[in-house]
Amino acid sequence: MRKIAKASIFIPFLLASAIALSQTATDTTNSTPSSSISTGITPPVVIRTAPILVPPNFPGRIPDGAKFAVKVSLDENGKPQEIEVIKSASPLINDSVIHAVEKFQWNPATLDEQAIPISVDLDLRVRD
């Protein structure tokens, strides 16, 4: 059986920029304005993957290096909630891809050291 390995994770830049912005507050007892400082977003980290197995009776062959693009929504505990195959090297194994990604374990994303839900894009590649 062949396996598909995770290649990279991307977090949409606009989401990171929008969340990291902070507002300035003014203390009425002091004329010096104060501002809230964000420590920013720490992206989620995959700590365990699961193999994506191609059934032995799969018709044809998926070439080495073939790509799958998957969008994963993670909750504040890092658990996958919604998984969507966006680009597929073979739609016949999309269910196998989703089933394996459901088993991935993640350290959650954080904003100002607090766990947050987030969506990430995974690029998966076929390898022997």
CB count in 10 Å sphere of residue 1? 9
pLDDT in tens, the chain (128 residues): 445 544 444 434 333 333 333 333 334 444 455 566 677 899 999 999 998 887 777 887 788 888 999 999 999 999 999 999 999 988 888 998 999 999 999 999 999 989 999 999 999 887 76
Closest CA to 70 of 120, 113, 29: 120
Instruction: Give SS3 for 121.
Output: strand
CB count in 10 Å sphere of residue 35? 10
Does the pTM surpass 0.75? The reply is no
Number of domains in the chain: 1
Looking at residue 77, which CATH number applies to its domain? 3.30.2420
Domain that residue 69 falls in: 3-12+42-127
